[in-house]
Structure 1
Amino acid sequence: MDNVHIKYLEHFVDLPGAMAVDMGCRDGSLVRLLAEHKAKVIGIPTGDQTPGPDGENISFLPGSSGTLSLENSSIDLVVYIFSFHHIPAESQKDALVEAHRVLRPGGRLHIVEPFSEGSYFELLKLIDDQTQARAKAMEAISSAWTLGLKPIIAGSYLHVERFDTFDDFRRRIITVSPARAKAFQINERAVREAFAHHGIVEDDGRILFRQPCRMYHFARVQTAEQAA
């Protein structure tokens, strides 16, 4: 995962020594990056992915966004990077409530969501069009202040995805879910054409795609009134 997410996060949170949870940690890339910055990190994977073994300052736990097996007020930082929109819309409020429960007073919730635009979105929507899911997620996030999560800052920046080859892209995508693997197979010709059309070949031969995203950063307070 591109370090741009960590660079922005470091502006708002002292990572060394922080107890952090990466929700929807996928292959564990962000977990390992946070640990490299001296945070103590718990990864909560989604779907059938296996992020890897535990390590120094790293552990992986089963669970879901709505039911974290963590004690009340025990966490300094909860992070959702490109994962909040994968929560069913009817469960997104529960996920925010659960984040508030496990965060210490003053603890931080950091969410980054991709916009439905950019060259990577144009490529990915041929396999999994997440336009509506992303819109629902941003709607839910905008109401977090009513749940005792005080908005600190919101802003936009550009994330990039890089692939060595089309087969590298295919490999990463089909491991996410059986549904994506099937859609990839059905639409492979169109996906291959879009990959060639939208991708930017860098000097080292890797292919770059742009994904604009929105960052939301909250502090946990005791009441909704304090969050306003």
Structure 2
Amino acid sequence: MQLPLITDELDILTALLPQPGPAIIELGCGSARLAQGLLARFPHCHYLGLEVDAIQHARNLALGHPHMRFAAAGAQAIPEGDAGFDLALMLKSLHHVPLTAMDTALHEVARVLRPGGCLYVSEPVYVGALNDIVRLYNDEGLVRAAAQDALERALATANSPWREVARRRFDTPVHFADFAEYERRMLYPSFADHRITPELTARVAAAFAPHCGADGAHFTRPMLVRLLQKIK
């Protein structure tokens, strides 16, 4: 079955949650790109983004958005009180939480959400040509499966505070102008050291080359969104 191609995931989020917020927290916010679009559509919302990457956190602090604040913290230890948020976002971030801390992170998210609040989890599915290239230097098969397992455990736990209210699958386009852009964005992210050597770079470049044409390399990244609601 061919999945819909979605260029802006905010369209998925707002279809599932037409009135998000007003208090939003994002765990592992990265550059908070989607959150900035969300606040442009819903200027009444207030947002807190948590990020463990010190370099990205410093960039976020420089944004100066009046309705956005940021904290250097991980999902497994949220520096906020109980029941203060209506929506929690985890956008390609749950699989970055340490394996031993995923259950704790989901417990923490439940703690800071108000009853009736939602957790929007968007995770890449580990298939496709782009993933075949990435696994040459960063095999995320284990952690991506672990993220889904952690969600299943959170739902199945006795007296679970969660119920799953929606799932959506879609593809999102990914474009690189050339291998230099791929190398900059994918081999040397500020949040990880992939131990890249010249030999490994050459292997990755060889795998990338067949996908690159006159207008660069076009990939699709399959995604799975799961929307959980806190019921108590």
Encode CA deviations 1:139-174: one digit per residue, 9 max, x unaligned: 111122233111001231112222222212211220
2:55 corresponds to 1:55: no
CA shift at 1:210, angstroms? 1.3
2:34 corresponds to 1:34: no
**Structure 1: distance between partners of 2:122 and 2:197:** 25
Verify the 8 A CA contact 2:14 2:20 in the aligned structure 1: no
TM-score for the superposition, normalised by structure 1? 0.86
Secondary structure at 2:104 match in 1: helix
Moved over 6 A (4+): none
2:72 corresponds to 1:72: no
CA shift at 1:71, angstroms? 1.9
CA shift at 1:69, angstroms? 1.2
Q: How does 1:135-154 map to 2 (within 5 A)?
A: 135-145=145-155, 146=157, 147-154=160-167
Secondary structure at 1:9 match in 2: helix
1:226 is aligned to none
With 24-33 and 9-18 compared, the bigger mean Cα shift is at 9-18
Verify the 8 A CA contact 1:123 1:198 in the aligned structure 2: no
TM-score for the superposition, normalised by structure 2? 0.85
Encode CA deviations 1:63-102: one digit per residue, 9 max, x unaligned: 1111111121111111111110011111111111111011
1:94 is aligned to 104
Q: 1:122 to 1:45 in 2, by over 3 A?
A: same
**Structure 1: distance between partners of 2:25 and 2:83:** 13
1:9 is aligned to 13
**Structure 2: distance between partners of 1:132 and 1:47:** 22
Verify the 8 A CA contact 1:184 1:191 in the aligned structure 2: no
Instruction: Name the count of aligned residue pairs.
Output: 217
Encode CA deviations 1:15-41: one digit per residue, 9 max, x unaligned: 565221121112232232222222322
**Structure 1: distance between partners of 2:216 and 2:26:** 28
Verify the 8 A CA contact 2:21 2:85 in the aligned structure 1: no
CA shift at 1:177, angstroms? 3.7
Q: 1:122 to 1:198 in 2, by over 3 A?
A: farther
Secondary structure at 2:81 match in 1: coil
AA aligned to 1:190 is R
**Structure 2: distance between partners of 1:198 and 1:122:** 12
Secondary structure at 1:11 match in 2: helix
Verify the 8 A CA contact 2:21 2:86 in the aligned structure 1: no
2:165 corresponds to 1:161: no
Uncovered stretches (5+) of structure 2, i.e. residues with no partner: 1-5
**Structure 2: distance between partners of 1:119 and 1:37:** 33
**Structure 1: distance between partners of 2:185 and 2:223:** 20
Verify the 8 A CA contact 1:16 1:37 in the aligned structure 2: no
AA aligned to 2:116 is G
